[in-house]
A and B are shown apart, each in its own frame.
Chain A
């Protein structure tokens, strides 16, 4: 049981590194989709002791939205925005991966020192969650394109979800559905925003957006 959970958490961490290290947008979107599917699996495995119908349905909805729907939306946004397929990082990929390693060490330290009301099933739970959050933040700040920032935001949200799974075996249905809806709408809006930005300015470079003002 513990082995399966550990394996899923390791895969989650590894997809995080894939996201930090890959130079192709499509690979990044696929990685974040795989992460979403893994989250659904994780939720199922964690509560496999006492499975309830709502739990299973929630996990399945989560996996479908995060693993299929959102990647499809992102792929669409990528196509509509007609952007190049490279990621365009501000720091090199090697440096990103190294920074990721640093974040992993940091999250292991935090995981060891963080006091939780109930001990999570696996001691790698909290480190994996915090690493995913930090790696998501890193993707947001270190990539040029608006669409990679959406991907980073999704990853960050995945980390929050893992943390939630670690702390409370079962969140209230309404809360969980609400979060899911939030993310879905968020990505939907961002996808449209990315499309409009690219149509208005012929690019989705977030750095150049900062220099927009009226005083030309």
Chain B
């Protein structure tokens, strides 16, 4: 039996496979295809203090080996989550992590406090990088000072594991990573979506109601991998790798680049069973490469 468990702050994951917020609903939507207890954990849909209707349709556009989305954090608010969704999730034998978003520091803090009160939620992922809402976090995540400010405020209010999700839409992502590490983050996850755009040339109109949106999918993987590699060298806290992970070997690449865990996102739309398959692949990879523990794989890139 190979050792596949990893530690992210105070969080123990039985394996490094997580799901990216907004691509896996509340987990239960995928229960027909994946044994949720087999995953290291799953990160549920971006949650805000108050109900949000999100952006108008159309909210998505397919692009070569990728897609744009502009959902805009549609959710019913943290109180609805606590009373209606949480009871359905609390008995899973895995880590359920809530992605917390907000429009101002007070909202982030209030939302994080409410999630902290839920016993079976051991961590939050703080979304300071959503590109799809006017005051939707990305404003915080693109400046080191504001990123540190929001993380430090949430840190004071949130005692459990705090993962901060970073935006790739910045000049130097390592600078932001170091800033949030300094502000008390237990981990950083990256990358959120890349700001992109698509046009219908016949209609001479944008394909998204919001004109621009967040790009994800296999096409972004090389960028994500490069950023994970850079950040893993720049910080001491564990890094969670995200961006275009579609196969088990993609996941292993992120681990080699220095990620301690990974999130599977858009690939869930292509193959709803993919997360379970990636868990199996990683275990098999360790056996094939005669490694006893996943620790031998993390950051093991030979350059």
B and A form one assembly: no
Query: Which residues on A are within 8 Å of B, measured CB to CB?
Result: none
Query: Which residues on B are within 8 Å of A, measured CB to CB?
Result: none
